[in-house]
Structure 1
Amino acid sequence: MLPQDRQNEIMKQLQKFRTIKISDISRDLNVTRETIRKDLYEMEERGLIRKVHGGAILNKANVETNYINRKSTNEAEKRSIAKRAAEFVEDGDTIYVDYGTTALFFVREILSKKGLTIVTNSLPIANELVDYSEFEVIIIGGSVRKNEKSLFGPIAYRSIERLYMDKGFFGIGAVDINAGFTNVHMGESEVSRLMMIHCQKTILLADYSKFNTVAMNQVASVEEVDVLITDSNTDQEILNQLRERNKMVITVETEGSELDE
């Protein structure tokens, strides 16, 4: 296979999943990892992609992929982050769970808790929780965004006005030390922004592929989030910069064991 053919295949995978791993693409294309690294270097030089530890992400922060596709992307990292986030939940808590695939993994980690009141704007998350008698599940209402199966808009904003939670758990589209935490969709971003104000403690869940990218709509500055949980593939320099801004940053191995805080 010629270099251009390989790089075209890499772009197809990135457009579908937004992120790839060198080990996966070298196996799929039956070439060495060094060959793929050279391809990624050339593609980064052309501004097509951005290399990250062990792989690459699409160099378009405002491009979204289908919800089902994203659910299987970086699944090991998301499950590990979700498991660590669940340790913040105590029986009897009132919590908000934002939309997104990492948040869906998170709610599956808290099913053994007792007496929770869970507020969400995500239809998949509400559907996941609806049969658990130990939980009171509240959906904030609003217009349905079909791509994400989330709720937003004036009805949602009015619902939020009188709701206050102990803790809020938020996914995010992009993380940048200067732009803060950003998302693609304006309506969803406004829901997240308002809910952060109404939570006593905000906990943000972001795998390595979300870092050093910027989407259009700011949800919060770096200083406005209490806890950031990510995986050990995230660039250490970025984590050090976040910690300098007085953030509680937690990294986890993909198996779920915590590295540091």
Structure 2
Amino acid sequence: MLAEERQKQIMQDLYEFQSVKISDLIERLQVTRETVRKDLYELEEKGFIRKVHGGAVLNKSNIQTAYTNRKSVNEKEKRGIAKEAAAFVGEGDTVYIDYGTTALYLTQELMLHAKNLTIVTNSLAIANEVVDGSNFELILIGGNVRRNERSTVGPIATRTMHDLFVDIGFFSAGALHPTHGYTSVHLGEAEVSKLMLQHTHKHVMMIDYSKFGTVHMNRVAKIEEIERLITDEKANNSMLKEIEKKTKDVVIAKSSE
């Protein structure tokens, strides 16, 4: 097993159990104590974990906060991004909307202005919004529910998506870096996004300024794989210049009042 695969497995265990023991990892990964220590050292250097005696725990500063709490973080920027994103949707489109709070604001914009849409999503929050407030057709991707994000992930989700193809997809990620691309904390959500990127005719990434310059464990996409990025006026200018070299279209949204 490669180091990257081992470290992904360690992070998955940490997300599930909050802590890991070196002795358990040796048995689970079938490697030496020295190999496990090296993996933990590298994960700590990246800011993902904090080593403790005999094991490791998650670095709390690198964990996504609860969905309901995050809705109000950078809300003006997110709503501005959502408004710009909605302009790329045409009447009668089949639209994939990823998980995340910016995606929820996009859904609300579409409900106000768009017509005859079919919404495909793995977000329970977005599905509830569509059911309660619109006449859109809705396809909810099933799977294992991640409560923190109110999204569905796992093999059931990916099997469903293999047969779904949409006109346009709107995606998000927990981090954006000019070199490392779009990354996510959670492996399952990254896998869902990666698969749907392959099944969308046009794809749009929605990222507010606070995500710039950071890197999470799981890559969602390389910079050049996304044709359109929508961000806000506070985004780092030097990073934007690097991203613009590899992206077909970068849209700067004004913050919503």
Q: 1:10 maps to what in 2?
A: none
Q: Could you tell me how far apart the structure 2 residues matched to 1:143 and 1:233 are?
A: 35
Determine the structure 2 residue equivalent to 1:69.
69
Correspondence list, 1:4-153, <5 A: 62-111=62-111, 112-132=113-133, 134-153=135-154
CA contact (8 A) 2:223 2:247 kept: no
Contact 1:61–1:215 (CA under 8 A) maintained in structure 2: no
The alpha-carbon distance between structure 1 residues 90 and 61, as it changes in their structure 2 partners (threshold 3 A), is farther
Deviation at 1:246, TM superposition (A): 3.7
Aligned pairs, how many? 199
- Whether 1:192 and 2:193 are equivalent positions in the alignment is yes
> For residue 189 of structure 2, what is the amino acid of its counterpart?
E
Q: Does 1:168 align with 2:169?
A: yes
Which amino acid in the other structure matches residue 116 of structure 1?
L
Alignment gaps of 5+ in structure 1: 1-46, 48-58, 257-261
C-alpha change, 1:133 and 1:106, in structure 2 (3 Å) is closer
Equivalent-residue separation in structure 2 for 1:190 and 1:255 (angstroms): 31
Q: Is the CA contact 1:80–1:254 (under 8 Å) kept in the aligned structure 2?
A: yes
Q: Report the AA paired with residue 89 of structure 1.
A: V
CA shift for structure 1 position 113? 1.4
1:220 is matched by which residue type in structure 2? A
Report the RMSD for the aligned CA atoms in angstroms: 1.7
Q: TM-score, normalised by structure 2?
A: 0.74
**Deviation of residue 115 (structure 1)?**
1.1
Show CA shifts across 1:21-42 (max 9, x none).
xxxxxxxxxxxxxxxxxxxxxx
Runs of 4+ in 1 over 4 A off after TM superposition: none
Letter of the aligned partner of 1:238 in structure 2? M
**Uncovered stretches (5+) of structure 2, i.e. residues with no partner:** 1-46, 48-58
Per the TM alignment, residue 240 of structure 1 is displaced from its structure 2 partner at its CA by: 0.7
Conserved? CA contact 1:82–1:103, under 8 Å:
yes
Report the secondary structure of 1:82's partner residue.
helix
1:169 and 1:205 in contact (8 A); partners too: yes
Whichever residue aligns with residue 221 of structure 1, its letter is: K
CA contact (8 A) 2:228 2:247 kept: no
Helix, strand or coil for the counterpart of 2:71? helix
Separation of aligned partners in 1, 2:95 and 2:81: 17
Sequence identity (%):
53
Report the Cα distance in structure 1 between the residues aligned to 2:141 and 2:241, rounded to whole angstroms: 36
Counterpart of 1:213 in structure 2: which amino acid?
A: T
Task: Determine if contact 1:174/1:214 at 8 Å carries over to the other structure.
Answer: yes
Matched residue SS, 1:109: helix
Task: Provide the rounded CA distance (Å) in 1 between the counterparts of 2:60 and 2:234.
Answer: 20
**What code does the residue aligned with 2:72 have?**
S
AA partner of residue 80 (structure 1):
G
- Give, in whole Å, the separation in 2 of the partners of 1:173 and 1:60: 15
- Report the CA distance between 1:61 and its aligned residue: 7.5
CA contact (8 A) 2:204 2:227 kept: yes
